[in-house]
Amino acid sequence: MGLGGSRLSVLAAVRACLPARAVLLFTRQSEKELSALDSAVRRALFAAEDPDSFRSVNRRRLAARLRRDGYPDRVKFAEAAVDSADVADVAARARAKIDQYRPARAPVVADITTGTKAMSIGLALAAHERGGCITYVSPLTREVYCRTHGPVGRHSPAAVEWRLLLRGYRFLSGTLAEAIAPDIAARQVDAPLIDAAAAEVRALAAGHEVAAWVDETVTAGAPPLPQYSAPQRPTVVLTVADRALGLSAPRRTRLRYFTSGGAHQEQDVGAGGWAHDVFASAALLNVRCGTAGTTLALHRPGDGDPRRALDLIDWFSWWRGTGHDADDTAPPADRITGHEDTRRPRVVSADPGTPRLRAALAAHLSALRL
């Protein structure tokens, strides 16, 4: 299988197919995303094949149990990165790995969900030439499908180890207002609005366990300089089942730091700066979570007119919408179809505790199929 910016589809494919051996091809661009992925794949295999033992084993002894049962030998990375734009190179590497590791007459499955187009084509060619199957993960249902045989496996969507996926974030046990650094970060993002949205999501997602993860650069004790760029990252990420909902609420008027004179000054960043920040937040979450992540840009109706910001967000993400009003900032749930659309943050313009905020969040949770 190939790797792109998201590891969720890799875990889903492994959980559904339960391969005797998994070989992971990667590009130079995705090398920094590979941290601990092999161990996550091994744990996903163990959890799917022996769920009772996985639940009972002590987490401190899990690595030793995996080694004892031979899981490290079943999950391998390629020795070197493939050329992300060279179909022939990817196909040649994939054929070589199939010939190297494939036991006699064993079936071959290539998952082409992530990676570049050239990578997906190369994997598909190699699998086809070796009589194998091609699978992909649906961005809507989260099920694994084989191009020839239809749905694969009887498992629920793959369990996600958000601690590994959301690097730079830590678990948030209380509210953001309690954890945020008061001098700088609290003047960059609207913590009360984020807390209100998080509380509404928890109430709306009844029946699902909701966990909150906070950007470490905004917490008390964080270094000062990264706090100035906090609006360019989702401040809080809510994880529900195998979906991630990023909450971003940059302040239009915020504290700026000017390095030439060392001055700290309040400044209105304007609609362009606000739109750039929320789009950057959506791009970061998309790199971490792929199609499993959606970013909500929270905005108070009295804090400037969002219509110009919406125009800029549409332009950044190439989303061709028809309306530009704050009440119509996202496509209907039945039109949300996946990869390109995750780049566009959804703008929610409502005051905390209002029916308008609850209705907007309910629509976005519905779009995530929760």
For the ranges 12-16, 96-100, 232-236, the one whose mean pLDDT is highest: 232-236
Mean pLDDT, residues 248-272: 80
**pLDDT at 355 (0 to 100):** 92
**pLDDT > 70: what percent of the chain?**
83
214 has pLDDT over 90: yes
Measured from the Cβ of residue 109, the count of other Cβ atoms closer than 10 Å reads 18
Contact by Cβ (8 Å): 188, 254: yes
Average confidence score pLDDT of the chain: 82
Q: Tell me the residue type at 98.
A: I
Mean pLDDT, residues 282-308: 81
Contacts 24+ apart (CB under 8 A), 140-143: 140/336, 140/337, 140/338, 140/369, 141/369, 142/12, 142/242, 142/292, 142/369, 143/16
pTM: 0.67
Question: Quick one: pLDDT band at residue 134, thresholds 50, 70, 90?
Answer: very high
**pLDDT at 276 (0 to 100):** 86
**pLDDT at 115 (0 to 100):** 74
**pLDDT at 202 (0 to 100):** 92
Tokens in use for 126?
């190699």
DSSP 159: P
